[in-house]
Amino acid sequence: MDNKNQPLTEAVFYILLAARKPVHGYGIIQEIDEMTGGRVHLGPGTLYGAINALLEKGWLVLYSAEAGSRKKKEYMITPAGRAAFSAEMERLRELTANGEKMEEGT
């Protein structure tokens, strides 16, 4: 199934953004909290559910894992994930530009 034209959820958008470098799950939560000033806070269930879906789509890859530890897995965005992120950025730019046109009254 091709999801390129579907909007990303806010959680997925921020997970992909946080995973531009290798990062573990708790690091993703911390980075999203910091980026959004605490407005977006992902709980572990939401985070790991989204990570599993992104792994299945091929948008994230398991970068490294400490043997015998579930807590030391690091994830990183893939080229397919970058393409989906870039498509979402373009969609958001269009939305913003059209919204600004409306506010300007043109």
Domains of the chain, each with CATH number or no CATH: 10-104 (1.10.10.10)
Mean pLDDT of successive 10-residue segments in the chain (106 residues)? 72 97 95 96 94 97 76 91 97 95 83
Gap between the Cα atoms of 30 and 13, Å rounded? 15
**For residue 82, which phi and psi values (nearest 5 degrees)?**
-65, -40
Q: Residue type at 38? A: G
pTM: 0.85
pLDDT at 106: 60
pLDDT at 15: 98
Residue written as tokens 């059209």?
Answer: 98
Residues 6+ apart with CB under 8 A from 70: none
